[in-house]
Amino acid sequence: MSELTKEALEVEGATVPFCTYTMGETQFIEFDTSKCGPPDPMVNAMAGLKLLDAPNKKVVMINHKSPGGLLAKIGENYDIAEEALEDGRVKLIFSYREGESEQANLSDTHCDG
């Protein structure tokens, strides 16, 4: 099996580094806000989700906890898988939902908690 190659990715409005990598036919866009406080997780999630425009792309967010405010805002617009990591952090994988993802208000980065 080949080594996974991650490349830095410039994301407009991001406050943490983003990277991208490909597995099979799927492009992943990943960022880690686990050491950030509000509003950075929301700001970076919204910036990353703006790049999620096709079924063969996924956004991966690593955070210190499940981002309830974010999920309340955009949960109906994306398929979201949540996984608890061994170190206590949470990994969320956002997938494009045709006809729904386009309706998400990704400019609202206000965090309600």
The yes-or-no verdict on residue 95 having pLDDT over 60 is yes
Q: How far apart are CA 110 and CA 113, in angstroms?
A: 9
Tens digits of residue pLDDT in 2-13: 578 999 999 999
Give Cα separations from 29 to 61, 105, 112 (angstroms): 9, 19, 25
Provide the pLDDT confidence category of residue 109 given band limits of 50, 70 and 90.
confident
Helix and strand counts by DSSP (H, E) for the chain = 2, 6
Query: What is the residue-averaged pLDDT of the chain?
Result: 94
**What is the side-by-side strand order in the sheet with 26-32?**
7-9, 18-23, 26-32, 57-63, 90-96, 78-84
Q: Which helix (H) or strand (E) holds 57?
A: strand 57-63
- State how far the Cα of 96 lies from the Cα of 93, in Å rounded to an integer: 10
